[in-house]
Copies of this chain bind each other. A is one copy, B any other.
Amino acid sequence: MSNGVTERTVSERLQGHGIQASAQRVAVAEYALRTTDHPSADVVWAKVRESFPFLSRATVYNTLNLFVAKGLLRPLVIAEGRVVFDPNVEPHHHFVDEETGEIHDVPWDAVAIRSIEPPRDFELRDYQVIMRGSRRGRPARARPRGSSRSSVK
């Protein structure tokens, strides 16, 4: 995207980040580096297996963690009980739809921050705004899918 010459194919992109390409890694990359969703590891496994059945769960986890270590993906801890992966590694914010659990990207410029003060003695490495809400016109009833914390009757 940002450079028209290098990193044209997924394979080249992996090599450009010091990753030895392989059939499994390319298959995972094809989905995980292109999606605009924020899929969990098991979602990636399910999606990729549709077109590439010879792929173990362990390899998906290994590969995603490798991509994170090499800066191709960013792990997000936002939704309960699972890490999701974000192929957009540039600074941006997130909006969580509390109805569906879906995570939407919010451009960095959608939030104008005048000043930000970390706690004394702490060094701010990065930050983002987590917004929560739902689609307009819906009153927010049920909990986000997959959550269901306890009965509390």
Contact = CB atoms under 8 A, between A and B. Distances in A.
A90 interface: no
Interface string A58-76: 0001100110110000010
A138 to B, nearest CB: 8
Interface residues of A, number: 47
Copies in the complex: 2
Given A77-B80, A127-B130, A128-B129, A111 B122 contact: no
A50 interface: no
Given A114-B112, A150-B62, A125 B119 contact: no
Contacts of A61: 150
Interface of A: 61-62, 65-66, 68-69, 75, 77-80, 83, 95, 97-98, 104, 106, 110-119, 121-136, 140, 149-150, 152
